[in-house]
Amino acid sequence: MDDAYTEMKELPALAGSINAVVSSTNKLRRPPSLSESFAWEPENVSRAMKSNLSGTSINLLVIQESPPTAQTTPPPQQTTPHTQWIQAYEAPVLNMVMRFVFHITLISIFESVFFFVYVSQLEDNGIIHTVGGFVDGIVSSCVNLTQPDQIVFNTLLGLFLNSTQAIDDGNAAEQQRSALNTALFNRSWIYVGSLGGLFVLLTIYARLRHITIHWKHLVLENVGLVVLLAAYEYMFFSTIIFPYNPITGDEIVRNTVYRLNSTCEFPLDQ
């Protein structure tokens, strides 16, 4: 028995084996008893660890395994003053910018439609009416002319006006004016599309950033303002601009006579 004891003491202290109990490292001076051979059962190891924590000394070699890593929540991310400023002002600033862009977009749509559908026609009709008042007087005078007077009148008119050239020039001018106005019309809708695209990009940004947009307030406020603007514009053009009396045909004739008199010495009746 002593030889076996001596032999076991010379063996290395393998963790969890009986020779760890009897090795010289643990200073055990006698052969291990039967009870000590069960020292490394899991429940005995756990009990020995609790005893060590409570201050009771037990001559056991306890192999402590590293405790499992607890899943701890990461510490809250530290925010810099710049980040705090963005978090505090990003949502209200974005709401204000979107309200402004939406308002301008609605106004651009209204102004494009209102001008090209209503105002442009109003201006053309006003010019035609003014010139027509001047031309109508000459045309009505031609009705009372006799055949010889018509020949004389046409001869004199031919000295100043080439009817074929005038018609060709008028057709070319109409085509040029129509092409220019069409380009302006398309340009106005490019502006509208640009504003609408900017509003869509801001909407996408708000969704990606999970920013709450007050859609009801945004839509109702701006639609109401644009409706009021449309009502005012229509009232202003209907009651002020359209009834406004431009220069009359008689004034045009008077000014023409004055210019002919000053340049061509056209006689003035006294």
**pLDDT classification of 244: cutoffs 50, 70, 90:** confident
CA–CA distances in Å: residue 111 to residues 104, 120, 183, 267: 10, 12, 16, 50
Higher pLDDT pick, 197 / 247: 197
Taking 50 as the threshold, does the pLDDT of residue 204 lie above it? yes
Exposure string (b/e) for 27-64, b if CB count within 10 Å is 16 or more? ebeeeeeeebeebbeeebbeebeeeeeeeeeeebbeee
Inter-axis angle of helices 163-208 and 81-114, to 10 degrees? 150
Which pLDDT belongs to residue 125? 83
Closest listed residue to residue 159, CA positions, set 267, 255, 264, 252: 264
pLDDT at 50: 61
Is the pTM here over 0.85, yes or no?
no
The answer, yes or no, to whether residue 46 has pLDDT greater than 60, is yes
* Per-domain boundaries in the chain: 2-54, 81-264
Show the tokens assigned to 28.
């055990």
Q: What is the mean pLDDT of residues 105-116?
A: 92
Q: Is 139 or 100 the better-scoring residue by pLDDT?
A: 100
